Structure 1
Amino acid sequence: METFTSPVIRIDSPVWTSIAPVPQPIAENLIEKTTDKRVICTLNDKLKKHCALMPRGDGSYYILINKQELKQLGISLNEEIHISLAPDHSDYGMPLDDEFRAVLDSDPEGEKYFEALTPGKKRTLLYMVHKIKDGQKKILKSIIIVDHLKMTGGKIDYKLLQQQFKERKS
């Protein structure tokens, strides 16, 4: 595990608010230990998340931090944050909730389509389920996702998927 302190810096993005630069030697050491720059990040010993070491284009790396995470941590832009990073050796680079696993286990065709997706698309779908707190709602969303993959032949139409979430919401 690598630990360091970094300032939280604002970036110009419609999705992400800020980044925390990762010291070059630490980034290089972690990249050697992972296949896709995925890490498990702990911020201020409070918030743990799966994320990627993102390249800046000049050989340096950073991690993304969103508004919600800043709020959870009580951190503002330009403040220092304590960061711990460890290589992420999980299968998907994101937690696989038991509810999603159960749906995949009960539907071999849906699992086949899910496993054929790119790693990033898998993480996006896993995140959609993981951010939900209620177990029954996780199951429903997992079923909708798997049904969507079967209906589209393993493709993801995000607009249609969102519509399906709304239609089947109860």
Structure 2
Amino acid sequence: METFSTSLVKLDSPLWTLIAPVPDAIAEILIGKAPDKRVLCTMNGKVKKHCALMPRGDGSYYILVNKKELKQLGLNPNEEIQLALEPDTSTYGMPMDEEFRAVLDSDAEGEHFFEALTPGKKRTLLHIVNTVKDGQRKIHRSVIIIDHLKMTGGKVDFKLLNRQFKERKF
């Protein structure tokens, strides 16, 4: 695990509020251990998340920090933050809820289509399920996702998927 302090830098972006720059020496160590640049990040010992070392374009890297995380940490731009980073050795680069796993286990064709997706699409679909707290809603979303993959031959059409979520409300 690599631990360091850095200052939060404000971005001019509607999506992401802040970044936490990662020292070059630490980024090099982590990239050597995690070729896909996925890491587990613990911020100020409170907030833990699966994320990626994002390239800045000049050879340096950073971690994205969103508004929700900023609020949880009680921090403002330009304040110092303590980060602990370790390579993410999980299968998908984020956790898979047991409800999604159960739906995959019960549908071999759906599991085949899911496993054939790119890692980023898998993470996006897992995130869609992970954002719900209620177990029945997680199952409902998981079933819709797997049905969508089967209907589209393993392709993800996010506009269509969103319509399917609305049409098949829980």
TM-score, with structure 1 as normaliser: 0.98
Q: Deviations over 1:89-137 (max 9, x none)?
A: 1110010110110000000000000001000000000111112111111
Q: Distance between the aligned counterparts of 1:96 and 1:113, measured in 2?
A: 16
1:169 aligned to 2:136? no
Per the alignment, residue 119 of structure 1 pairs with 119
Q: Deviations over 1:42-73 (max 9, x none)?
A: 01111110000001011100000111111111
Question: Runs of 5+ in structure 2 lacking a partner?
Answer: none
**Which residues in structure 2 correspond to 1:9-158 (within 5 Å)?**
9-158=9-158
Per the alignment, residue 5 of structure 1 pairs with 5
Q: Distance between the aligned counterparts of 2:46 and 2:131, measured in 1?
A: 17
Q: Distance between the aligned counterparts of 1:83 and 1:64, measured in 2?
A: 12
Letter aligned with residue 76 of structure 1: N
Percent identical = 71
Q: Distance between the aligned counterparts of 1:12 and 1:100, measured in 2?
A: 36
TM-score, with structure 2 as normaliser: 0.98
Q: Distance between the aligned counterparts of 1:65 and 1:98, measured in 2?
A: 27
Q: Distance between the aligned counterparts of 1:84 and 1:128, measured in 2?
A: 26
- The Cα shift of 1:168 comes to 1.3
Measured on the aligned residues, the alpha-carbon RMSD in Å equals: 0.8
Question: Runs of 5+ in structure 1 lacking a partner?
Answer: none
Q: Distance between the aligned counterparts of 1:154 and 1:124, measured in 2?
A: 15
Q: Distance between the aligned counterparts of 1:21 and 1:36, measured in 2?
A: 18
- The Cα shift of 1:32 comes to 0.3
Following TM superposition, the consecutive aligned residue runs of length 4 or more in structure 1 with deviations greater than 3 angstroms are: none
Letter aligned with residue 149 of structure 1: L
